[in-house]
Structure 1
Amino acid sequence: MLNRRNTLMLMSAAAITPKTAFAAEAREITWDDLLPPGLPYSEIIGEGETNEANDTWNPIYDANAIKLNEDLNGTYIKMPGFIIPFDVSAEGVTNFMLVPYVGACLHTPPPPANQLVMVNATEPWPGDKLWDPVWVTGTMRTQLQSTKLGQTGYSVSADDMEVYVW
């Protein structure tokens, strides 16, 4: 039976316990998990147009490119990727696009929306580590957004980031 003294002791212990002790375990996901169940990756690319003069290929995505995995909405996740920054300050970058491979959106046409993630980090990621692969941990939302670099299908409020090491 809890008396007043025991109750106060429990409340005091909870107040000084590190918040990580109460943190939810992040679900580790891959880029394939961003596709709705049953939709193979081969069905999101679609056709494309080749510009031989400029040696480029521009994909033409169909409706499968904006189909999202709604099971991930509100899920606390951890996923790897590469950073495409929107703004870099002296402290680093807090708003960026997470992409599945180096140079996505910059040197090639952007991947489909269901393979791009908008990230808003609570702590800036250092500007000298922008080319490093990263783990991003936070709450994911399914949300189509248009940016100057491409349409994204997901967003993450990141509360933790670290260098990805395989």
Structure 2
Amino acid sequence: MNISRRSLVTAATAFATFPRTAFAVTPSEITWDDLIPPGVPYSEIIGEGERDVENDTWRPIFDANATKLNDDLNGKYIKMPGFIIPIDMSTKGVTSFILVPYVGACIHTPPPPPNQLVFVTSKIPWPNDDLWEAVWVTGRLEHELQATEIAQTGYTLTADKMDIYVW
């Protein structure tokens, strides 16, 4: 097979200018209920708790269902709404946070169970002025139980994109 230099240059140019969006993966839009494994009712993941008198907080005690994660979502590219509880902040913005299902979760109330919390990291800081806004977060969701100073989380996500959630 004889390929001319012109054909090779034409093919290389066409490939180099091919829109990157043609290769883009469309995220699956999920809800908070999707984080709970199928067959586990939400009412069964809420446990009892006890008051921490020293710190004046409520420490929930979750049963085993609270750490059960949805295997179908592990490694999936998703988009989900939520609210930000900052972990790492600077004057440039927030680069890691816990994504929670409702405003004030983990701060003013006992934290939701681990399978309802997502630890998010982002290379691009989210502006401090928008911390109380509901957001869309897009990225790859992974199973990873971890403890933070605020709560135990069941999932992690590296944010590729974040936008304000428009009601």
The answer to whether TM tops 0.5 is yes
Identity of counterpart residues, as a percentage?
Answer: 64
Structure 1: gaps of 5 or more residues:
none
- Partner Cα separation in structure 2 for residue 160 and residue 109 of structure 1: 29
**Partner residue in 1 for 2:36:** 35
Q: How many residue pairs end up in the alignment?
A: 163
Find the aligned partners of 2:155 and 2:112 in 1 and give their Cα distance.
Answer: 13
Tell me the equivalent position of 1:95. 96
**d(CA) in 1 for partners of 2:24 and 2:68?**
30
Instruction: Within 5 Å, give how 1:63-82 maps onto structure 2.
Output: 63-82=64-83
TM-score (norm 1): 0.88
Paired with 1:44 and 1:57, the residues of 2 have a C-alpha distance of 17
SS in structure 1 of the partner of residue 88 of structure 2: coil
> What's the Cα RMSD here?
2.3
- AA of the residue aligned to 2:27: A
Tell me the equivalent position of 1:135.
136
Give the structure-2-normalised TM-score.
Answer: 0.88
Partner of 2:120: 119
Match for residue 17 of structure 1? 18
Q: Distance in 2 between matches of 1:14 and 1:114?
A: 43
One-letter amino acid of the counterpart of residue 39, structure 1: V
Structure 2 match to 1:163: 164
Q: Secondary structure at the match of 2:150?
A: coil
Alpha-carbon distance change, 44 to 2 in structure 1, aligned in 2, over 3 angstroms: farther
Which ranges of structure 2 fall in alignment gaps of 5 or more residues? none
Give the deviation of 1:77 after TM superposition. 0.2
Per-residue CA deviations over 1:126-149 (Å, capped at 9, x if unaligned) read 110000000000011011011000
Distance change (3 Å), C-alpha of 1:87 and 1:45? same
